A and B are shown apart, each in its own frame.
Chain A
Amino acid sequence: GQQLNQSPQSMFIQEGEDVSMNCTSSSIFNTWLWYKQDPGEGPVLLIALYKAGELTSNGRLTAQFGITRKDSFLNISASIPSDVGIYFCAGRSGNTGKLIFGQGTTLQVKP
């Protein structure tokens, strides 16, 4: 079945640093989504991407839909302590609403 490989698995950075994470797949996706999940809560949508090559920002977050439609990355600039959490990529293909999720990137920020 379809799989998403998300990396890195975890990151421990200093406050103020920039962060980059990415997802790759052997399959083509029509939509890429990035979510953040805090402990005990559901995933919260950060950015949605619909076209190959699309670059979208949401505050300090920037995400891109890869040209090949098989990858996406998320950048966080000038990290702050509240950025701590688990970040998931998710992809959708075909004419179904089914999302395939990556394994997550755990981000820790040291003040």
Chain B
Amino acid sequence: NAGVMQNPRHLVRRRGQEARLRCSPMKGHSHVYWYRQLPEEGLKFMVYLQKENIIDESGMPKERFSAEFPKEGPSILRIQQVVRGDSAAYFCASSQGFNQPQHFGDGTRLSIL
């Protein structure tokens, strides 16, 4: 399977803990995007990265959220000191270029107790 791989598929955290979500893009894709989806809603853009660089983080909350896409390894979306409102499905997408179609992974469903 050469698709976008996200793990874990489900993640449960208690308030105040840290959540780390991982995304391995499709082979040959160097552009990665993170989106958040609440129940019954569309996806909301969070951040766009291209190997080691953050290109657009206009959708990222100013505090507690960070993202990286290192030279080697998967992209990581990190949420520190999680709160109940962080509960959502987080999707990663990748593309060959910024104007090329984005292909999505199956998401990580984050639940905060």
Inter-chain CA distance A47–B106, complex, in Å, is 19
Inter-chain CA distance A109–B63, complex, in Å, is 43
Judge if A45 is at the interface, Cβ distance under 8 Å: yes
Judge if B73 is at the interface, Cβ distance under 8 Å: no
**Shortest distance in angstroms between B29's beta carbon and chain A's nearest beta carbon?**
11
Inter-chain CA distance A48–B98, complex, in Å, is 14
B99 touches A98 (CB 8 A): no
The contact string, 1 if C-beta is below 8 Å from chain A, for chain B 1-15, is: 000101000000000
* Given A98-B59, A103-B42: 13 more A-B contacts, CB < 8 Å: A4-B42, A30-B99, A33-B102, A35-B104, A40-B106, A43-B43, A96-B56, A97-B48, A97-B55, A99-B35, A99-B43, A99-B45, A99-B93
B: residues with CB less than 8 A from A are: 4, 6, 31, 33, 35, 41-45, 48, 55-56, 58-59, 91, 93, 95, 98-99, 101-107
A: residues with CB less than 8 A from B are: 4, 6, 30-31, 33, 35, 40-45, 48, 88, 90, 92, 95-104
